[in-house]
Amino acid sequence: MNNEQRDEQLWQIAKARASFKWGLLSYFVVNAFLVLIWFFSPSENGRHHYFWPIWPILGWGVGLAFHYFSAYHGNKFLTAADEYEKLKNKKG
């Protein structure tokens, strides 16, 4: 692998990590907004309705967890080149 290929690979990793960080920021901003909507919505007898923002928080959180894994650990795991090397080393 030459330097140009390594630089391209590093660039792809950097883009994936920056994308994750923007996704994390939007996750917190949007979900904080949803919690505020829930908190300030009219309630019955002074009690809030069930905490409905939990569903987007959990659903988006699962997707964000996969995004994190892909950005920070995906380049070292589940790659065809790594699997090839493992098989090649077992053979010999």
What is the Cα–Cα distance from 17 to 67, expressed in whole angstroms?
9
> Is the pLDDT at 21 greater than 70, yes or no?
yes
The model's pTM is 0.73
74 burial class (0-12, 13-18, 19+ CB within 10 angstroms)? middle
Token pair of 5 as six digits:
């290929």
| Tens digits of residue pLDDT in 39-88 | 998 877 767 788 999 999 999 999 999 999 999 987 665 567 777 777 88
**Residue 18: what residue type?**
A
